Structure formats: C-alpha cells, structure tokens
Amino acid sequence: MVFPYMETVVGFMIVMYFFETYLDLRQHAAHKLPRLPKTLEGVISQEKFEKARAYSLDKSHFHFLHEFVTVVMDSAILLFRILPWFWKKSGNFLVLVGLDAENEILHTLAFLGGVMLWSQITDLPFSLYSTFVIETRHGFNKQTVWLYFRDMIKGMLLAAVLGPPIVSAIIIIVQKGGPYLAIYLWGFMLVLSLVMMTIYPILIAPLFNKFTPLPEGELKEKIENLASSQKFPLKKLYVVDGSTRSSHSNAYMYGFFKNKRIVLYDTLIQQCKNNEEIVAVIAHELGHWKLNHTMYSFITLQLLTFLQFGGYTLVRNSTDLFRSFGFDTQPVIIGLIIFQHTVIPIQHLINFGFNLVSRSFEFQADAFGKKLGYSSALRAGLVRLQEENLSTMNPDPWYSAYHYSHPPLVERLAALDEPDKKVD
C-alpha cells in the first residue's frame, strides 16, 4: 500500500490554515481594542492610533479572504491533480510549437513559464485591491496604475532572463550529481546567492527605483562619523525614491567586506523629526553588522539549505512519492516541488525559530544603539516610524510570538528604558 503523501500534505495545509486563522482572529480582536496599551498612552497620539487601528482592521479583513482563497486553491491543485495535468499540457505545447518535449530542460521551462503566468493572473486581483484600495485609502500608495504594471512586466522579464539558466543548471546538477548531489546543489545555490546579493543592488534594484547619493550636509556628516567610529567600511550613502510607490519608510545596508553601502528611503528622511532620529536608526542597523547578526543568519540559512538538499536526495527517486501526487514520470523540478510540500511542517517550525532569533537580534541591536548614546533618539525614531507606518499598536501576544520577526513597540521601548546592560 502506497503511503498517502499527497493527502497528508493537504491535511496538514488545512490544519495549519485553521490554526493560523485562529491566531488571525485573536489579532483581529486585538485590532478592535479602542484604547492604546497603557505604556503607549501619551507616547502615541490618539489620532495616529485611530488611523492605525482602521488600517490594521482593513488589512485584517482582506487577509481573511486572501488566505481562504489561497488554501482552497492550493488544496484543489493537489487534490485534483492539476500539477501532473499541467506538466502534460506543457509537453503538448512544446510539440505544438515544434520543440522536443522529451528534453527535460525545455519541458521544465515551459511548465514554469505557465505556472508563473497562472500565478500572476490569480494573484493580480488581490494585489491590485491591496495596493489601489487599502494602501490608497490609508494614504500609503503613491504609484500609478501604469507604474504598477510596468514594475510587474519588468519582474516577469527579469524572471524570463534569469530563470532559464538557473533552472537548467539545477536540472543538470541533479542528473549528473551522483552521490555528492547535495553538496553540488548546495555549492551552486551558495554561489548563486552571493552573485545575486552582489548584482541585485547594482543592476536589478535600479531598474525599479532611483538611487541618488545623500547630499552633503549635517545628516551625511553624522552618519559618516558614526560609521567611522565603529570602523564600518562605508563607501556610499544613497537615498532611494521609495515615495514614488509608497509612503512606508525603511533603511538598509548591503555589500561585502570593505565595500559597504547604506540606503535611506526618502520617506524615512521626511518622516523623522530631526537628523538625530535618522542616525539612531542607522546605529541600530550598524548594531546588526557589529554583532554579526547578518553573518549568523547567513550561515544558519546555508546549513539549513544543505540539510534540505540532503533530504531531497533521499526521496528524489521515490516512485511512490511521485505517484501519490499523480505523476508517472520523475522530472527534477517536480521532485523539488513535491519535496517542498512534504517538508512544510518542518518549515513552519524553522520559521518560528527564525522569528525567535530575529526578535532577540532586534533587542540586541537596540541595546547597541543605546550603548552609543542614541537611547532617546532611537526611542523617538521607533515611535515615529510606528506612527507614520500605522503599525499595529495592540498586537495579540500569541499572534506576535508566532508571526513577528521584530518585537512589538511596547517591548522595544521597555527594553530601552531598562538599566544599561553590557552588549557582547
């Protein structure tokens, strides 16, 4: 008797849907609370609280619908054997246009092209509503319909250019990897991730946003002095025109070794009351670098990737696994997709663990900024970003423990108010 792999996967998907919907209901009830947490009274304005509350409720209602449609569609695709049907249809398409359907690389590219098109079509109504109804209603969306579709087309073209060589390489590695397949796959993905981390900010991100050097002045001087004091090898300071698409704000840094760059969203500069708050936010980001959080996360991710490929090599030739999902052949890409479905329970646990570690890192980075003397400015900056982004003011503790990669504002402010502690 063949083990019901597919039915087990669908069953777990549905169980997780109900569990996460329960957490969503708890969060929705928290959104309805008419008052701020006591520790935020007098810190967050009542006007901003009401706006954040309305924004959170709108997103919550939309989230319930989106998640329901998603779980129904994903379950139907598996239960009604849509994947094997679509695999056969993509082969028929190749024959129709005069190409060799027996060529696994061509067959896979045709299959993935169809999947990408299907995903774009089915997700489009939700994306449009989220962007042009919810985000516009609450004053965040700044992009036109033309800009939205231009970005979408650019993304699809990038996938069409970058996808085929990557997919082809993976198929060839699996076909010829032999007993060291997991090592070869991991090595390929490691090199690919390093290449993408290098070229994305230089070649890809500028296709969507304009990056300009931060003008000379007090802010630039303060950031450069801060970076110099921590021996951060800052080479470039950029401002990105995030306001062309959204009024949400952010800041990040990237680059390898002695070639680091810091990017500020123009909305962050506009929203912060003074330069000290912006510098405090950068001090927090420098804390992640100084405390090696990015390196720890990268190493952990590489270890998990290697283990995942190791697991894949154990089941990639399982005829029963493929048959359970409706396949009478064993294409490489299908094996990877099926394996991803079967390890969903482990992925949920890993994501939960990552969130726990991430929240710990955020507290440590806050403490680092505090140690540098930015406690009051960081406190003010965090409050400002919470207000301007209309972030959730009353998160449910169970929901935040499961989903949040950053601690709630109340917890971060409480940690900043604690007596100084040594940062290792």
Are 293 and 169 spatial neighbours (Cβ–Cβ below 8 Å)?
no
Residues near 88 by Cβ (< 8 Å), separated by ≥ 6? none
252's enclosing H/E stretch is strand 251-254
The span from the CA of 291 to the CA of 256, in Å, is: 16
Asked whether residue 248 is marked as a ligand-binding residue, the answer is no
Cβ–Cβ < 8 Å for 366, 412: yes
d(CA 372, CA 283) in angstroms, rounded, equals: 8
Strands (E), 276-404: none
Residue 109 buriedness (CB in 10 A; 0-12 / 13-18 / 19+) = buried
Is 362 a known ligand-binding residue?
A: yes
Q: Residue 384: name the closest of 278, 232, 308 by CA.
A: 278
Where would I find the H helices in 130-244?
Answer: 136-137, 145-176, 181-199, 218-229
For 253, the enclosing helix (H) or strand (E) is: strand 251-254
Looking up tokens 């989903």 gives 403
Catalytic site residues? 285, 366
- C-alpha radius of gyration, the chain, whole number: 24
**CA–CA dist 175, 169 (Å, integer):** 10
Instruction: Report how far Cα 10 is from the mean position of its chain's Cα atoms.
Output: 24
Cβ contact 58:137 at 8 Å? yes
Provide the 10 A C-beta neighbour count for residue 368: 23
- Cα 277 to Cα 270, 289, 359, 373: the distances in Å are 11, 19, 21, 12
Taking the CB of residue 167, how many other CB atoms lie within 10 A of it? 17
Total residue length of the chain: 424
End-to-end C-alpha distance for the chain, whole angstroms? 56
Enumerate residues 6+ apart whose C-beta is below 8 A from 291: 361, 364, 365, 368, 423, 424
Alpha carbons within 13 angstroms on the beta-carbon side of residue 166 total 14
In the block, tokens 């919550």 appear at 60
Beta carbons of 61 and 67 less than 8 angstroms apart = no
* Binding-site residue positions for Zn(2+): 284, 288, 362
* Binding-site residue positions: 284, 288, 362
